[in-house]
A = this chain, B = another copy of it.
Amino acid sequence: MVKGKHSYFFKEVVLILNRIFTLMVILGVPLTIIGSLMHWSSIVMFIICSLTVIAISSFMGRATESLAIISGPRIGGLLNATFGNAVELIISIFALKAGLIGVVLASLTGSVLGNLLLVCGLSFFLGGIKFKRQKFSIYDARHNSGLLVFAVIVAFVIPEIFSMSMNETKTLQLSIGISVIMIILYLAGLFFKLVTHRGVYMQEENVETEHEEPEWSKRKAVTILLLATLAVAYVSENLVHTFESVGEQFGWSELFIGVIIVAIVGNAAEHSSALLMAMKNKMDVAVEIAIGSTLQIAMFVAPVLVIVSLFMPTAMPLVFTVPELVAMTTAVLLTISVSNDGESNWFEGLILIAAYIIMGIGFYLL
């Protein structure tokens, strides 16, 4: 009974959010076009584009979700894994094209920090205020902790440290090598999760998933996904071009824009669904979204951007700044040690949020 009441309340919230996002898209896309033609001020364009990207990405999320349900768990998992961070990828490609390599690396950092600290933290905190102790699968938490250490600590730290005594060519060679290995490992991980070990570790969830019904038909979902991707691409390009002058006017560094602003805009859609899940006490799903998204960024988006950058004017090596790397590494250690017991409460959420704020202040002052 109580569960039914909860579900009803959350359905209402989701419906209202969807209406708001629809309105934002209907207003935002034309405004972006007009503003771009009429050369509105950077700050106005920055605000319009940011909000519009967030709104469109919620449509992409819903379309992917519908397609995933229609295509069954295997293809569905693949779709989620590919389109889950499409917005982030599109913004980053335009930033690469504009030569803003620092912003791209910073936004990767920001996505990792945002997912691990802010999304997990808010999920634990908001969920923990409603429920005294929330549990999630210890197995998943530990499986993911191995991947997080690999993706962030090994694959990001090694090029950083080794490149200190390398020339640029060798640094790029190392980055490409690591990127290829990571993409292979990412695909192998999908193969592991969707084929050889599907359902081996998570019986309960599968049962629940069967009942779900797609929001949109296959045709409608594909159409929306295509249109949304085009729209996001157009708006993102406009957004990227505002970074420089917005940074100057607010006194924000390239690093701060990437780590905080781009990361929040690029991941807002997933963030909200993780929070909704946490407040429904579906902690397994909330943690899976936050950590799964981090792994996707680190093991798929980052290496793909390295490869893509080879066809751009300036190639991007996988070399973060030291503060970025230290922030990501400590975020991984903190998340692992906080989530290692398969339980969460509001105080653990607060710890993660506090870590995010500390890092945010740090990047602001840098």
- Whether, in the assembled complex, A170 has its beta carbon less than 8 Å from a beta carbon of chain B, the answer is yes
Q: Is the interface of A mostly helix, strand, loop or mixed?
A: helix
Stretch from A243-251, A261-269, A273-281, A333-341 that touches the partner: A333-341
**Of residues 170 to 216 in A, which have CB atoms within 8 Å of B's CB atoms?**
170, 173-174, 177-178, 181-182, 184-185, 188-189, 192, 196-197, 200
Of B142, B148, B185, B337, the contact of A146 (CB 8 Å cutoff): B337
**Cβ–Cβ < 8 Å partners of A200 in chain B:** 132-133
Least CB distance from A295 to B in Å reads 11
Given A178-B361, A362-B158, residue A153 in contact with residue B334 (CB < 8 A) = yes
- Whether, in the assembled complex, A87 has its beta carbon less than 8 Å from a beta carbon of chain B, the answer is no
- Whether, in the assembled complex, A351 has its beta carbon less than 8 Å from a beta carbon of chain B, the answer is yes
The docked-state distance in angstroms from the alpha carbon of A138 to that of B148 is 21
Stretch from A60-68, A101-109, A285-293, A320-328 that touches the partner: A320-328
Interchain CB contact under 8 A, B355 and A322: no
The docked-state distance in angstroms from the alpha carbon of A359 to that of B159 is 9
Copies of chain A in the complex: 3
**Of residues 341 to 364 in A, which have CB atoms within 8 Å of B's CB atoms?**
341, 345-348, 350-351, 354-355, 357-359, 361-363
Interchain CB contact under 8 A, A340 and B142: yes
Q: Which residue of chain B has its CB nearest to the CB of A177?
A: B361
Interchain CB contact under 8 A, A158 and B357: no
Least CB distance from A128 to B in Å reads 9
Interchain CB contact under 8 A, A362 and B174: yes
The docked-state distance in angstroms from the alpha carbon of A354 to that of B146 is 13
Q: Which residue of chain B has its CB nearest to the CB of A361?
A: B177
Least CB distance from A104 to B in Å reads 20
**Cβ–Cβ < 8 Å partners of A197 in chain B:** 132, 345, 347
Stretch from A11-19, A78-86, A161-169, A226-234 that touches the partner: A161-169
In the complex, how many residues of chain A place their beta carbon closer than 8 angstroms to a beta carbon of chain B? 67
Interchain CB contact under 8 A, B162 and A341: no
**Cβ–Cβ < 8 Å partners of A185 in chain B:** 350-351, 354
- Whether, in the assembled complex, A51 has its beta carbon less than 8 Å from a beta carbon of chain B, the answer is no
The docked-state distance in angstroms from the alpha carbon of A334 to that of B345 is 25
Of B161, B192, B341, the contact of A345 (CB 8 Å cutoff): B192
Interchain CB contact under 8 A, B161 and A323: yes
**Of residues 71 to 123 in A, which have CB atoms within 8 Å of B's CB atoms?**
none
Least CB distance from A214 to B in Å reads 30
Interchain CB contact under 8 A, A346 and B133: no
Interchain CB contact under 8 A, A347 and B189: yes
Least CB distance from A139 to B in Å reads 7
Interchain CB contact under 8 A, B161 and A322: yes
**Cβ–Cβ < 8 Å partners of A358 in chain B:** 154-155, 158, 177-178, 181
- Whether, in the assembled complex, A37 has its beta carbon less than 8 Å from a beta carbon of chain B, the answer is no
The docked-state distance in angstroms from the alpha carbon of A123 to that of B358 is 34
